[in-house]
Chain A
């Protein structure tokens, strides 16, 4: 059943409306477990749109297997998605930097507060992101090291290729995931694909993983396909490759490619002179999990990220 979670008046004859679709078993038994599937916080990330569609379809195909509540929120930032805007139109701050929000804050912080209230009490939340328009990402879960112990076991159930446990940073304390984890709702942040595009194969892979997670939680009783075991980054090095010259980036290595240290993984070229400005080399041996898709680069633009092998302690 589609429900309105938030409705806020806009100046002229319109409301900003955030909705969810609640799927639940016909027979209401005992205490039901609840999972929230959230996406569309960043208006230029669309991979989650397909995931929401496909998850809806898979569950509604076999309602008899559903044993808990699934709340699907396809668009946390509907004005952003509708205007191809990453952030919130007319608002300075990234929506994923104002959680947990406040009733006393500006409109968007009030909205965020109400979204938090709606998700509070859930047994699990999956927050689906799609990188940005510049970079393609291997399907992965990102976890703040502070919550790793609790979340890595869930992340292994969700059928991604990679789990990145990263250092904590104060500025990340205002994300949806951090705020929900703080109030006891385990929240997994998925990053996959690239902005403004839909990669159906990644979407299907994640849906299988979400069903598997739901099965482990007792929300889903249907069959689930094979689930892959992700590489967990904890004891591995991560190599960052940033441009040192402006120009046009022509990537060579693809996502999932294994590269050796010093391999040429792309070139930065100058269309005016025909010169190669920079031969971009892999800083470490490993697997490419991030690759730049948007060609124009400045000094500093992220080009690739590489997951190194297990480091000896």
Chain B
């Protein structure tokens, strides 16, 4: 293992922001793994730290197949993490919306350019990411439909679901999208949490990455086979929105099976405690995403459901 600073940004009042990369093995650039890019992605940082711990151990036991280099960058924006901010604290911009970056541009474009320069040209790119809507997911691998995506490769992580998202204009500046444009096979791995550590899904994510690297011939590691993934087009998910605002009581969680007409959650009057609305499932299926915060507005997405097809 080689630990090195892959990008440094000096700060007027703080220690410099040093972005650290861990290089395992040597030879052709096989896989690059990026952890936390936003300051609240603590779970993503944790997953990466556990992965680095495991890769250290595997490297010592000679388990990295020769002529393979694996790069792991656990954290990009700890300057924000250390002060409890999600985005770049000076101008509130999101480093994960600045890719591929520009080394003569604004500060966060320079950070993105510095990171991208290091992470591009790998055969596989894996990012532990978080979504722009707050809530929980079933652990899954997400890919952008760029024309370069390869869903059968995503299947090799052995997570239960692979979601393909049609990129919207705003997605074109994310790491995942630009990796693909630069011909890296890019995957975003979503576990169930962001701001807090969830041991169970963290272990699942570490195993999924090790399984993938093993199946790609980069590692020699005995992993159990995992799931055969269902591949889902994000647009096929059934969306359940609120038609009232108030206190949200979640009754169904990601991964649970639900039936049409079943009550998924309740909205309570915030003063009088009465249930003012029931959130009812419009379909049979599995909960893929659910709102988690205790409050909801009107017209908010509270559930996304993988529809079960009747045969």
Pick from A104, A111, A170, A247: contact of B172, CB below 8 A. Answer: A170
Say how far A228's CB is from chain B's closest CB, in angstroms: 31
User: In the complex, what residues of B have CB within 8 A of residue A87's CB?
Assistant: 92
Does any Cβ of A come within 8 Å of B123's Cβ?
Answer: no
Separation of A32 and B247 alpha carbons in the complex (Å): 45
Query: Binary interface profile of A, 5-32, with partner B (CB < 8 Å = 1, else 0)?
Result: 0001111110010000000000000000
Does any Cβ of A come within 8 Å of B211's Cβ?
Answer: no
User: In the complex, what residues of A have CB within 8 A of residue B247's CB?
Assistant: 11
User: In the complex, what residues of B have CB within 8 A of residue A172's CB?
Assistant: 169
Separation of A205 and B94 alpha carbons in the complex (Å): 35
Closest residue of chain B to A172, judged by CB? Answer: B169
Separation of A129 and B90 alpha carbons in the complex (Å): 20
Q: Check B106 against A171 for contact (C-beta < 8 Å).
A: no
Query: Binary interface profile of A, 56-83, with partner B (CB < 8 Å = 1, else 0)?
Result: 0000000000000000000000000000
- Assuming A11-B295, A298-B11, is B105 touching A106 (CB within 8 A)? no
User: In the complex, what residues of A have CB within 8 A of residue B296's CB?
Assistant: 11
Does any Cβ of A come within 8 Å of B299's Cβ?
Answer: yes
Pick from A86, A173, A300: contact of B107, CB below 8 A. Answer: A300
Separation of A11 and B296 alpha carbons in the complex (Å): 5
Q: Check B297 against A12 for contact (C-beta < 8 Å).
A: no
Q: Check B12 against A248 for contact (C-beta < 8 Å).
A: yes
Does any Cβ of B come within 8 Å of A107's Cβ?
Answer: yes
Say how far A272's CB is from chain B's closest CB, in angstroms: 9
Pick from A97, A98, A134, A296: contact of B12, CB below 8 A. Answer: A296
| Number of A positions contacting B (CB below 8 A) | 39
Separation of A86 and B87 alpha carbons in the complex (Å): 13
- Assuming A110-B299, A171-B170, A171-B172, is B245 touching A9 (CB within 8 A)? yes
User: In the complex, what residues of B have CB within 8 A of residue A107's CB?
Assistant: 297-300
Q: Check A11 against B270 for contact (C-beta < 8 Å).
A: yes
Residue among B104, B170, B246, B295 having the largest count of chain A Cβ atoms under 10 Å: B170
Say how far B96's CB is from chain A's closest CB, in angstroms: 10
- Assuming A12-B270, A299-B10, is B105 touching A242 (CB within 8 A)? yes
Pick from A11, A111, A174, A247: contact of B246, CB below 8 A. Answer: A11
Separation of A107 and B245 alpha carbons in the complex (Å): 11
- Assuming A170-B172, A247-B12, A298-B12, is B270 touching A13 (CB within 8 A)? yes
Say how far B116's CB is from chain A's closest CB, in angstroms: 15
Does any Cβ of B come within 8 Å of A246's Cβ?
Answer: yes
User: In the complex, what residues of A have CB within 8 A of residue B300's CB?
Assistant: 106-107
Q: Check B297 against A10 for contact (C-beta < 8 Å).
A: yes
User: In the complex, what residues of A have CB within 8 A of residue B110's CB?
Assistant: 299-300
Closest residue of chain A to B235, judged by CB? Answer: A104
Separation of A299 and B246 alpha carbons in the complex (Å): 44
Separation of A132 and B168 alpha carbons in the complex (Å): 25
Does any Cβ of B come within 8 Å of A33's Cβ?
Answer: no
Q: Check A98 against B106 for contact (C-beta < 8 Å).
A: no
Residue among B169, B244, B270, B295 having the largest count of chain A Cβ atoms under 10 Å: B169
Does any Cβ of B come within 8 Å of A245's Cβ?
Answer: yes
User: In the complex, what residues of A have CB within 8 A of residue B90's CB?
Assistant: 296, 298, 301
Residue among A9, A86, A248 having the largest count of chain B Cβ atoms under 10 Å: A9
User: In the complex, what residues of B have CB within 8 A of residue A300's CB?
Assistant: 105-110
Residue among B9, B91, B104, B244 having the largest count of chain A Cβ atoms under 10 Å: B91
Query: Binary interface profile of B, 203-239, with partner A (CB < 8 Å = 1, else 0)?
Result: 0000000000000000000000000000000000001
Does any Cβ of B come within 8 Å of A297's Cβ?
Answer: yes
User: In the complex, what residues of A have CB within 8 A of residue B201's CB?
Assistant: none
Does any Cβ of B come within 8 Å of A255's Cβ?
Answer: no
Pick from A8, A10, A174, A242: contact of B106, CB below 8 A. Answer: A242
17 A-B residue pairs with CB within 8 Å = A9-B245, A9-B298, A10-B298, A11-B297, A92-B132, A93-B132, A104-B241, A110-B299, A132-B91, A174-B168, A246-B10, A246-B11, A248-B12, A298-B90, A299-B110, A300-B107, A300-B108
**A13-B270, A13-B271, A134-B91 known; 18 other A-B pairs, CB under 8 Å?**
A86-B92, A93-B170, A97-B170, A104-B241, A105-B301, A106-B299, A106-B300, A107-B297, A107-B299, A246-B12, A296-B12, A297-B12, A298-B12, A298-B107, A299-B9, A300-B108, A301-B106, A302-B106
